[in-house]
Amino acid sequence: MREVIAGDRLDQYELTDLLARSGMASIFKAVDRKSGATVAVKVPHMQYESDIAFFQRFEREEKIGQKLAHDNIVRFLAPESKSRMYLVMELAEGESLRALIGRRKRLPLPEALAIIIQVVDALRYLHENGIVHRDLKPENVLVTADGHVKLIDFGIAMDESARRLTWVGLSSTIGTPDYMAPEQVRGRRGDARTDVYSAGTMLYEMITGELPLTAGNVHAMMRAKLEQDPRPPHELLPDLDPKIEEIILRAIDRTPRERYRSAAEMLVDLRDPSQVVVQDRSQRRESRPLFALARLPRGAVSAVALVTIFVALGMLIWATGRGHARRAPHSWPEPTEAPRGH
């Protein structure tokens, strides 16, 4: 068995073009010779095909994807049979939200709201079906030329109805630090409020061109998530409607209980900001850190430091492995790309 390339036949699929390639997998445009449909086929690199943990992750993504049917979620397809590991999805033409932000820096508020409403509606559907995405970020949001959104990449999604699977012992924490919720940084599995946090962060970035928190490296960002409140977006956009700011700040509150309890709840406010009640948050930025190391016993501080270093190293190794991605000149974004800056 060898690496597949464009021009190969993979069971019922003829691979016609390489759409994207990362450190872990390649995505090909393909023709289904049984139905005639044009699809996308994601094939892991050969070195991962014998990796049990990677196989579990791939299998989980396929099982979750094939359960879903929502207009804002990429549709997974079921081959009649498979001779090796791969996933088949609908071919959605467009560009990633990361590319869109990179090209335009800031999006007008109406456009940003139209995108995030579709994202949050997809999350609502996922949460109502017991699925938590856990890796929501601009790289995993596809935007078509007419503004239609498709949510992609369920590699570390969690199906609350299924047996828990782990991946390299870090499946509950792996994500992109810029968009990870503080509880993910602390090693928790996450729930609907984790996805809400990521969605709020993306809306903040779309309208301001910046992230709510900034740091020089992965470890500093993870610590900032635990100890700092985000900069209010009106400091970057003085004319921002306070009700829109309230939606964002409630979504990205570092304390989970202060966030929207579900994507459905957030969606109500996004669709009708006029009924949002603006809170007085003037005292919040001076509040005690969510995770105050100085107040913990010395032994606990050491344990926490070790856990934080371990998670940070895991993130760096994982990101480095993905950071050597090479992209073909096509609009389809590879869902397992490295974090920001590629």
Specify whether 135 is catalytic: yes
Cα diameter, the chain: 65
Q: What is the DSSP-derived secondary structure letter of residue 228?
A: -
Residues 281 and 253: beta-carbon distance below 8 Å: no
Separation of CA 259 from chain center: 18
| Entry field: residues in the chain | 342
Residue type, position 33, single letter: R
Q: Could you say which of 17, 51, 71, 135 is catalytic?
A: 135
Q: Is 108 buried (19+), middle (13-18) or exposed (0-12) by CB count in 10 A?
A: exposed
Residues 144 and 94: beta-carbon distance below 8 Å: yes
Q: Is the dihedral of CA 255, 260, 263, 267 positive or negative?
A: negative
Residues 6 or more apart from 316 whose CB is under 8 A from it?
218
Active site residues: 135
